[in-house]
Chains A and B, each alone.
Chain A
Amino acid sequence: GENVEQHPSTLSVQEGDSAVIKCTYSDSASNYFPWYKQELGKRPQLIIDIRSNVGEKKDQRIAVTLNKTAKHFSLHITETQPEDSAVYFCAASSLEGYGGATNKLIFGTGTLLAVQP
């Protein structure tokens, strides 16, 4: 079945630095890749997603890149701030039937990001 690997498991950066989290997926049929941020004791919140018909997507300080050939996708956070500290999960899904994120999400193992002030 589909497997998603995520690295690193922990990441500590200084405020203002950039952070990069990488994921690799196994199922070549995967074509939708969301990223969720989960603060301690809170729900996972969607922060950005990308579909396989594009290679990069940006939203202010957050960007996601996708390399379909290598089955890699990455989250890039620039100018990190203490409020970026959280666990970040990547996920992969195959668009079937209804389309969108309606098929099951396979999650990576998570990255604990700590932004030091």
Chain B
Amino acid sequence: SAVISQKPSRDICQRGTSLTIQCQVDSQVTMMFWYRQQPGQSLTLIATANQGSEATYESGFVIDKFPISRPNLTFSTLTVSNMSPEDSSIYLCSVVWGRNQPQHFGDGTRLSIL
């Protein structure tokens, strides 16, 4: 089956720093998304990563805080900028492989900010 790889799997960062998370899939996908899952909570969509153009952000999420890139059909990055302890969460990418196909998730990046 197709593989979704996220890196890093976990990290501990200092407040005020930034971290870039990568999502790589082994075959071309039609859509990629980024979600946040705070400890013990549900998943919240951050943005839709659009190939070759700016991401589409959900209410409460802004590009300056969560810049996203998607340079091609198999790769996307999410940066968490100027981190604070409130950003401690699991960040997950999800992908859709084709028309009328469901979303599948990567393993996530567990981020802790000290």
Contacts and interface: CB of A to CB of B under 8 A. Distances in A.
A62 to B, nearest CB: 15
Contacts of B103: 34, 46, 101, 105
A108 to B, nearest CB: 7
Interface centre among A1, A43, A46, A109 (most CB of B within 10 A): A43
B11 interface: no
Interface stretch (B14-22, B37-45, B69-77, B78-86): B37-45
Interface string B81-96: 0000000000010101
Interface residues of A, number: 22
B42 A108 contact: yes
Bin the interface of chain B by size. 20 to 34
B57 to A, nearest CB: 11
A110 B42 contact: yes
A44 interface: yes
Contacts, number: 57
Interface string A45-58: 11001000000000
Contacts of B59: 1
Given A43-B108, A98-B30, A98-B31, A104 B102 contact: no
A32 to B, nearest CB: 8
B44 to A, nearest CB: 7
B43 A44 contact: yes
